Amino acid sequence: MCGIVGIVSNRPVSARLVEGLTRLEYRGYDSAGIAVVNGQGIVRRRAPGKIINLQHELDDAPIDGTCGIAHTRWATHGRPNMENAHPHRAGNVAIVHNGIIENFKLLREELAQNGHVFATQTDSEVIAHLIQHYLDKGLDAEDAFMACVARLEGAYAVAALVGDTNQTVYAARHGSPLVVGFGEGEMFVGSDAFALAPFTKRVLYLEEGDSAVVSIDKVCVRDKTGTLVTRDIMTASISAVMAEKGNYRHFMEKEIHEQPEALARTMAAYIDPENDIPTLGKAAPLLAEADRLIAIACGTAYLAASVAKYWFEGLAGVHVETDIASEFRYRTPALPKNGAALFISQSGETADTLAAMRFCNQATMGTIGVLNAPESSIARETDAVMRTLAGPEIGVASTKAFTAQLAVLAMSALGTAHARGRLDDDQIKDHIKALSQLPELSQKALAVKSQCEEIAPMLAASKQTFFIGRGVYYPLALEGALKLKEVTYLPAEGYAAGELKHGPIALIEEGTPVVVIAPTDELMEKTISNVEEMAARGARVIAITDEAGAKHFTERASHTIVLPDMPGLTGPIVCAIPLQLLAYFTALKLGTNMDQPRNLAKSVTVE
């Protein structure tokens, strides 16, 4: 996902534009650039690769100036090289863009017929030319910017410099977020509050279709009808300090270790100490009265939804349909008349999930967001929000957000079961008592990190790794495979343990690592049979189990990772931790950039 920063100030902006970009590195990118109005016109510096390359360009050729924009690009159209890096220019205009302009080919043809010559293959470049086109027609800077925005179709957040001496940043959002920051004698624009955290915590969130004219001491916001509006100035909940690595080597390592406190914070927000009944806020009636639930998300968040299915169906007796967001609305789903839809998302900005949520909103379904970003697009458009209080998750691989999502979903399933009379007060108190042990259990689970570090070289040296599990541990197997894939680039597959014999077992050969997730439960005997099938064909079994289950693997596994006994619904949440640690230490062994893995973005705001 691309990142945008803009500053209008009474002092030089280049260094702080770059600092703002570093706050956006977590989103994933492959080039970066800045453009500054420096009195002699708009001057640009761009570089492929990491921000340090842009810094070197600026060291060699600094830019003075007190008004500028900056960008980190995650390539969608056009290769990730310097030519395609933002800011894009045309005449006296420079722009930075996040999203996809779906009608860019049509606009490009129209502009080319008017003599515009394009330097890149990107969709974004048409924005700069279109603004210049309207300037050439005699419109002033603001009108030219607004006329351009009115022609754009698709998802975008855009910031622009218009005119060689104009100390103003023009901004607009449609499908991709933008915030405006208020400083002392300066104003800011950013993709999120986190980008502006080093400069200000006072921000306003542009709403869908808003545009903004940002000058040194004020911002004028217009809504999608062009009407001047006032948006509330908020104090952003993100502090730059919270997002530092501290004494960890990587954000992923830090965030894995933050899980006990993230779980404690999240649980505390839902448990009424008076009666130990989960308080689910506006989501409660939607969940309690729905005939059927739909749980929709992407990636790891989808796997949290998959675990929740077992809990809601098993405890609350309500049918749950899970789907990946990018498939959901294109399969013309048969929506329930009286249903509710859960949208699980760390960022709250994932385009596929946002689109699926809007589809359900239009179908007048009750929509609930399980979100780590309370000011996100999904948060603003769902009927109810259940927050995960994981804190900023900077590593692209979702770790503490995932376990916080599971904790919220577990409490939601329990609250729904209680509201539907499926669990009485005593039963729910027992479950809540078990969940309240999560901070302590997760802390104990972190103690297996040295064992995971010992196993990592074997995974690093393997052609591929299998992850298997049954019941709620099947989605955990999928999550273990996804974690390993995305931070090590090694092939890995997650399977239902009972499914391997229906084909995938053909891939097992001498030494193939198979990670089996098998805390003690009613499926243990069947899982052991599946492990025997693997071991008989030469697999190297790595068992993740609990104290009571360890005896089953002494002879069968080359490594047995023993977790504390995990009561109630805590198993899938605690088992996520060794899976994360195995991925982390394997990536560390391989030297991959596990905080910003190649090709990946922290939040994918394009469909």
Active site residues: 2, 602
Q: Quote the CA–CA distance of 109 and 116 in Å, as a whole number.
A: 9
Q: Quote the CA–CA distance of 585 and 223 in Å, as a whole number.
A: 48
Closer residue to ligand AGP (CB): 376 or 570: 376
Q: What share of the chain is helix, strand, coil (3-state, %, to 5)?
A: 40, 25, 35
Closest separation between CB of residue 309 and ligand AGP, Å?
17
Closer residue to ligand AGP (CB): 347 or 592: 347
Asked whether the beta carbons of 393 and 385 are under 8 A apart, the reply is no
| 506 burial type by CB count under 10 A (0-12 exposed, 13-18 middle, 19+ buried) | exposed
Closest separation between CB of residue 400 and ligand AGP, Å?
11
Closest separation between CB of residue 597 and ligand AGP, Å?
9
| Length, in residues, of the chain | 607
E-assigned strands of 257-325?
Answer: 292-297, 319-324
Closest separation between CB of residue 350 and ligand AGP, Å?
3
What kind and span of H or E run contains 534? helix 524-535
Q: Quote the CA–CA distance of 467 and 478 in Å, as a whole number.
A: 7
Sign, CA torsion 279/575/397/599: negative
Give residue 184's Cα distance to chain centre: 31
Closer residue to ligand AGP (CB): 3 or 33: 3
Closer residue to ligand AGP (CB): 152 or 195: 195
Q: Quote the CA–CA distance of 97 and 113 in Å, as a whole number.
A: 24
Closer residue to ligand AGP (CB): 14 or 596: 596
Closest separation between CB of residue 355 and ligand AGP, Å?
12
Please give the order of strands across the beta sheet that includes 228-229: 88-90, 93-101, 154-162, 169-174, 211-214, 219-222, 228-229
The string of DSSP codes covering 151-192 is H--EEEEEEEEESTT---EEEEEEBS--EEEE-SSEEEEESS
Q: Quote the CA–CA distance of 594 and 253 in Å, as a whole number.
A: 9
Closer residue to ligand AGP (CB): 68 or 391: 391
Find tokens 């809990």 and name the residue.
Answer: 311
Closest separation between CB of residue 99 and ligand AGP, Å?
16
Q: Which residues contact 118 (CB under 8 A, 6 or more apart)?
A: 108, 111, 112, 125, 126, 129
Closer residue to ligand AGP (CB): 93 or 373: 373
User: Which tokens in the block code for residue 374?
Assistant: 């309370």
Binding site for ligand AGP (CB under 6 A): 298-301, 345-347, 350, 353, 396-398, 486, 603-604
Nearest to 448 by CA among 546, 557, 562: 562
Closest separation between CB of residue 111 and ligand AGP, Å?
34
Asked whether the beta carbons of 574 and 447 are under 8 A apart, the reply is no
Closer residue to ligand AGP (CB): 325 or 340: 325
Asked whether the beta carbons of 592 and 487 are under 8 A apart, the reply is yes
Q: Which residue is nearest to ligand AGP (CB)?
A: 299
Closer residue to ligand AGP (CB): 305 or 432: 305
The 3-class secondary structure across 356-401, one letter per residue, is HHHHHHHCCCEEEEEECCCCCHHHHHCCEEEECCCCCCCCCCCCHH
